[in-house]
Homo-oligomer: A and B are copies of this chain.
Amino acid sequence: MGFGFKIKYTKYIGFIEKLRNNMPEKKKKLSIIVFSGDFDKLTAVFTLATGAAAVDYEVNLFFTYWGFNAIKRKKGHAFTGKGLLAGIFNFLMGGFNNLPLSRMNFGGISPKLMTGMMKRRNVATLSQLLEAAKELRVNFYACEMSMAILGIKLEELITPVREVIGVAKFLKLSEGGETLFI
């Protein structure tokens, strides 16, 4: 006999909906391409990342370009990377301690002011958010191409970064979830 095409569609629909609702839910996913090295944008990145991880999302951060400012081991202006040009570029780019604000930076005073305001309001600072992200097992990935251009090696990045990947791998990781470019 068979499949019951005699039953009305509405019934089928209710049936399939019921199935759907009873299916084991897939883990939700948030993936962020961290392009920016600005203090305010990185604060947004880590606020989203920790907020999502706290409600049990899988979170993937893919650091590229200026985003490397957040994951370079040397936090000041340091002459790192293979080659003279890369060295100069990395030096000028700075690190975690020199993140500018995307607007109204006032020569670097603003990020310090903002950190002060955040402490006063009991809002987690950027360093605290980064630590929280590690503890919540947010996944840190470094962009292959940026590593090549900046002449940087994996050992020069902070420990949560365990893997260097390219675009294809990132797309696979982020598939089926929400993806942001920041």
**Residue A22 at the chain B interface, CB threshold 8 Å:** yes
- In the complex, what residues of B have CB within 8 A of residue A13's CB? 19, 22-24
Question: How big is chain A's contact interface, by range?
Answer: 35 or more
**Shortest beta-carbon distance from A56 to chain B in Å:** 10
Q: Which residue of B lies closest to A45 (CB)?
A: B181
Q: How many copies does the complex hold?
A: 3
CB pair A44–B35 under 8 Å, yes or no, is yes
- With A13-B23, A117-B89 already in contact, the answer to whether A51 and B149 are too (CB < 8 A) is no
**Shortest beta-carbon distance from A121 to chain B in Å:** 5
- With A19-B16, A47-B167, A117-B89 already in contact, the answer to whether A28 and B104 are too (CB < 8 A) is no
User: Which residues of A (154-174) have their CB < 8 Å from a CB of B?
Assistant: 166-168, 171, 174
**Residue A52 at the chain B interface, CB threshold 8 Å:** yes
**Shortest beta-carbon distance from A27 to chain B in Å:** 13
- With A6-B2, A103-B66, A113-B89 already in contact, the answer to whether A118 and B149 are too (CB < 8 A) is yes
